[in-house]
Structure 1
Amino acid sequence: MTAYEPPHGPGTEAYDAVVLAGGAARRLGGADKPGVRVGGRALLDRVLAACAGARTTVVVADPRPTARPVLWAREEPPGGGPLAALDAGLRRTTAPYVVVLSADLPFLAEETVRRLLDSLRGSAVAPQGAAPDVVEGTGGTAPPTGAPGGSLPAPAPADGVLVTDPGGRDQPLVAAYRADALRRELARLGAEYGGTAGLPLRRLVGALRLTRITDPVASFDCDTWDDIAAARARIREHGHVLDEWISAVKDELGIDLDVDTRELLDLARDAAHNVARPAAPLTTFLVGYAAAKAGGGPEAVAEAARKATALALGWADETEAAASDATPGSSDAKPGSPATGSGAPHSAPDAG
């Protein structure tokens, strides 16, 4: 498949995404973890939806069907570990920023990806060794050693921003990085160790200037079947189930359309209440069909829904008027209607 390339506005710096999806999943008994479904959607597809704004998305794993077009890469040798996988994925990216994700994050959302990127673009960290020294016995601080005139060196841009989990642990596979910093450190490690295969990810992360954000929901990953069960249970909670269901249906049908679901629910309610209960699903189906014929898009759906809602409300007005006409003694009864008896056939008087 080709890379997905969403539009970017003026001044918006593009980003790429690298998703690591080739692990052995030993704690799941070797199951195909990226393909495990949570809320009706594969874990990998859920992560791909969260980074849908990426100019290019590279998945490091053997190719498989996905809800979004992606590029595929494979570490050398296969199974060489997350650092080698990141190296392989990064080679297929060109954007100045790279979001690096694992494929087992059921609750990762686009909002978290945006937070990571916004934090990275605006971040700065003090250079190593620039922290002020405590002056013993004074409670004050002295200028850092080597700082001319006692001034602090200017903060340097951070190399990356990562999410921490509820326990405060860093999650380097829920993070955004400057691509040039990753390439620099990967090249250094490759030269020092003769390649990146088998090296732990901490060797890379430990050499980078990092800042952090907290997101306990986005950092939840699925390492065990208990984690999978917990994720599935949460998705079926009342506050989440509708959005999850709509997302699952859109993935299954291969459509990417954001519409006002409240408007459609209001339409279904009006059709059910003012016409008949079966009218609700049939009407919403017809609205979708009409919107597709009109070229699709949220505006087409909204216009078709508006017309159908007006029709359902008009139907209700007619029903109320008909009921009023049929009520004996009603002041709204019209001459000649069955309620007045006027114009109705009269029986002939008795002859005798």
Structure 2
Amino acid sequence: MLAGGRASRLRGTPKPGLLLDGSRLLDRALAAVAGAAATAVVGPDDLAGTVGTAILTREDPPFGGPVAGIDAGLRALDRPGAPGVVVLLAVDVPGASRAVPRLLAALTDDADGACLDRDGHPQWLIAAIRRDRLTGALVTLHAQAGSVHDQPVRRLVAPLRLVGVPDDDGASDDVDTWDDLARLEAAARKGMR
């Protein structure tokens, strides 16, 4: 789970602690993967004590972008019995609990993973990907670019065969601005999210 970043469009307010319909975005994201064998939260040290049984880790150096965060999260989960499928989530996607079951159900034998697709736009940070394929893509990217820091997610997932799962109910709506939060809060009050 990616829970770092500078939150510049929120004037530096950390996204994990934002409240939506009375729940922190972090808690919503953790609930979306509650059945996981293990969870890694990639974010700042001030999240310690707030992530439950999840492993808190950080890319080094910090603010290396989502690909560096994915790499750090996989490294934190690298142990015997590690899950065969990794669910990638950005902490600012409060509808993740609706998406995760669909992503896992969409995995087929001939696919490397599945991601939400919003009107023809793949949402790579709301995905379920086979661990070995994702690890391989990270190794390849590192070999090609010399680092995974500041690399675009598009470049990481380019060699992967990802099934697009239609996002017909806005499960991929994210909170990047205060207006996004207000819109999702209004929808939650109407019982739409």
TM-score (normalizing by structure 2): 0.91
Structure 2 SS opposite 1:91:
helix
1:89, distance to aligned residue in structure 2 (A) = 0.2
Aligned: 1:52 with 2:34 = yes
What is the match of residue 209 of structure 1?
161
* 2:126 match: 174
Say if 1:67 and 1:84 are closer, same or farther in 2 by CA, change over 3 A. Answer: closer
Question: What is the root-mean-square deviation of aligned Cα atoms in Å?
Answer: 1.5
Q: Which amino acid is the alignment partner of residue 112 of structure 1? A: A
Q: Distance in 2 between matches of 1:62 and 1:223?
A: 18
Equivalent of 1:106 in 94, 103, 112: 94
CA distance, structure 1, for counterparts of residue 163 and residue 94 of structure 2: 24
Q: Aligned residue for 2:6?
A: 24
Match of 1:200 among 152, 170, 184: 152
Q: Which residue of 1 aligns with 2:72?
A: 88
Q: Which residue of 1 aligns with 2:181?
A: 228
Question: Tell me, which stretches of 5 or more residues in structure 2 are unaligned?
Answer: none
Return the alpha-carbon distance in structure 1 between the equivalents of residues 117 and 73 of structure 2: 23
Task: Give distance in 2, aligned partners of 1:104 and 1:55.
Answer: 22
| C-alpha deviation, 1:33, in angstroms | 1.2
Corresponding letter in the other structure for 1:160: G
Shift of 1:67: 6.1
Task: After superposition, give the CA deviation of every residue in 1:31-57 in whole Å (9 maximum; x if it has no partner).
Answer: 111111111111111111111111101
Whole-angstrom CA distance in 1 between matches of 2:114 and 2:94: 20
CA contact (8 A) 2:115 2:163 kept: yes
CA distance in 1, matches of 2:176, 2:116: 17
SS of aligned partner of 2:128: strand
1:38 and 2:20 correspond: yes
Higher relative contact order (CA 8 A, sep 6+): 2
Task: Report % sequence identity.
Answer: 46
Matches within 5 A, 1:272-311: none
| Residue 24 of structure 2 is aligned to residue 72 of structure 1 | no
Taking the aligned partners of 2:65 and 2:51, their CA distance within structure 1 comes to 25
Cα distance in structure 1, aligned partners of 2:131 and 2:159: 14
Under a length normalisation based on structure 1, what TM-score does the superposition of the two structures give? 0.51
Distance in 1 (CA, whole Å) between partners of 2:71 and 2:151 is 11
How much does 1:168 deviate? 2.1
Does the aligned pair in 2 maintain the 1:116–1:162 contact within 8 Å? yes
Question: What is the Cα deviation at residue 117 of structure 1?
Answer: 1.0
Q: 1:230 to 1:116 in 2, by over 3 A?
A: same
Distance 1:66 1:218 in 2: 24
5+ residue gaps, structure 1, are 1-18, 125-156, 245-352
Describe the SS at the equivalent of 2:56.
Answer: strand
The alpha carbon displacement at 1:97 in A equals 0.3
Distance (whole Å) between structure 2 residues aligned to residue 108 and residue 204 of structure 1: 21
What is aligned with 1:147?
none
2:96 alignment partner, SS class: coil
Please give the alpha-carbon distance, in whole angstroms, between the structure 2 residues aligned to 1:55 and 1:186. 22
Once the two structures are TM-superposed, the CA of residue 92 in structure 1 deviates from its matched residue by 2.1
What is the number of residues matched between the two proteins?
Answer: 186
Please give the residue correspondences for 1:110-259 in structure 2 after superposition, counting only pairs within 5 Å.
111-120=98-107, 123-124=108-109, 157-165=110-118, 167-215=119-167, 216-237=169-190, 239=191
CA 1:173 to 1:191, structure 2 compared with 1: closer, same or farther past 3 Å? same
Letter in 1 for 2:149: A
Offset from partner CA, 1:164-197 (integer Å, 9 cap, x none): 12x3211001000000001111011112222211
Which aligned segments of 4 or more residues in structure 1 are displaced greater than 4 angstroms? none
